[in-house]
């Protein structure tokens, strides 16, 4: 039976498909933090499924809160500019049964400050994403 | 937010042609201006970097590709 994430909102058109996710450092980074007897931070945020994003991004605020260590840089083009941003490895947890243990994401200044994660096509490529406008619902199955 | 690994990024761009000759599609770790090694996957590179430098020291990992990957977004300033 496929794993399923689903949501419904009367404001689906206005807000988009938003789902709460738990973000932590990647599992390999957590192992390293525990070896060094450091705390493992986590944060629950609102994520927007964004078919227009090639790669998943998190807000700079989340990267700072989690004290993520940069693992590289990437060149990003937006509608307004081109810039170089930091890359981080995270784990993304939709719920206890659906998670990605190592995901490379970008740190970014997100335009909508109520959203701290854009889930891009690098995640969506693993599943089937359905947006049902009349029912004001969405689902992602893996 | 400030770019933390600009020196490593510049080093990578300066040596990408050299890397492509023998390490195409592998993942390189760079620290400062030194290549630490090449690995078959991102996770292998990450684990090696964590093992060498620890959990909180930045190090640069990038896939060696023919062209720099440019990413497109709508929701980022």
- Domain ranges, ordered by start, for chain B: 6-63
- DSSP codes, A40-61: ---EEEEEEE-TT-SS-EEEHH
Q: Is B38 on the interface with A (CB under 8 A)?
A: no
Residue range(s) defining the domain that contains residue A63: 19-141
- Average pLDDT of the segment spanning B55-70: 87
Q: Measured between CA atoms, how close is B21 to chain A, in angstroms?
A: 22
A87 falls within a domain? yes
Mutate to test the interface with A, among B16, B29, B73, B74 (most CBs of A within 10 A): B73
| Mean pLDDT score of chain B | 89
Q: Is B29 on the interface with A (CB under 8 A)?
A: no
**pLDDT at residue B70 in the model:** 63
- Provide the token pair at B51: 């093992």
| Mean pLDDT score of chain A | 92
A52 falls within a domain? yes
**pLDDT at residue A13 in the model:** 95
Reference B62, options B17, B21, B16; nearest CA is B16
H or E, element range at A117:
strand A117-119
Q: Measured between CA atoms, how close is A61 to chain B, in angstroms?
A: 9
Q: Quick one: pLDDT band at residue A107, thresholds 50, 70, 90?
A: very high
- Average pLDDT of the segment spanning B21-29: 96
d(CA B22, CA A120): 31
Q: What is the CATH number of the domain that holds A91?
A: 2.40.70.10
Identify the DSSP state of B1: -
**ipTM for the assembly:** 0.84
A12 falls within a domain? no
Chain A CB contacts of B56 under 8 Å are 33, 36, 38, 67, 69
**pLDDT at residue B74 in the model:** 60
Sign of the C-alpha dihedral, residues A71, A23, A44, A83? positive
A27 falls within a domain? yes
pTM to 2 decimals?
Answer: 0.90
- Average pLDDT of the segment spanning A79-84: 78
pLDDT at A34 over 80: yes
pLDDT at B25 over 80: yes
Question: What total number of domains does chain A contain?
Answer: 1
pLDDT at B16 over 90: yes
A11 falls within a domain? no
Q: What is the largest CA-CA distance in chain A?
A: 51
Q: Quick one: pLDDT band at residue A96, thresholds 50, 70, 90?
A: low
pLDDT at B75 over 70: no
pLDDT at A8 over 90: yes
A2 falls within a domain? no
d(CA B14, CA A1): 48
**pLDDT at residue A82 in the model:** 81
């Amino acid at each position: 039976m496929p794993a399923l994430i689903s949501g419904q909102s009367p404001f689906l058109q206005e807000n988009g498909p938003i789902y709460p996710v738990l973000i932590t450092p990647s599992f390999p980074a957590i192992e390293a933090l525990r070896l060094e007897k450091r705390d493992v931070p986590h944060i629950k945020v609102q994520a927007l499924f964004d078919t227009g994003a090639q790669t998943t991004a998190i807000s700079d605020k989340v990267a700072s809160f989690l004290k993520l260590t940069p693992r590289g840089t990437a060149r990003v083009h937006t509608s307004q500019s081109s810039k170089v941003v930091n890359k981080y490895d995270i784990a993304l947890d939709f719920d206890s049964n659906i998670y990605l243990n190592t995901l490379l994401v970008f740190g970014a200044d997100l335009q909508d400050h109520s959203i701290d994660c854009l889930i891009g096509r690098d995640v969506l490529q693993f599943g089937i994403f359905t947006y049902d406008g009349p029912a004001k619902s969405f689902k992602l199955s893996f | 937010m400030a770019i933390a690994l600009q020196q490593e990024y510049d080093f990578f761009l300066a040596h990408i042609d050299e890397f492509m000759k023998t390490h195409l599609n592998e993942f390189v770790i760079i620290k400062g201006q030194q290549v630490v090694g090449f690995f078959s996957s991102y996770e292998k590179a990450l684990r090696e970097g964590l093992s060498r430098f620890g959990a909180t020291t930045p190090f640069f990992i990038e896939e060696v590709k023919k062209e720099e990957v440019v990413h497109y977004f709508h929701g980022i300033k």
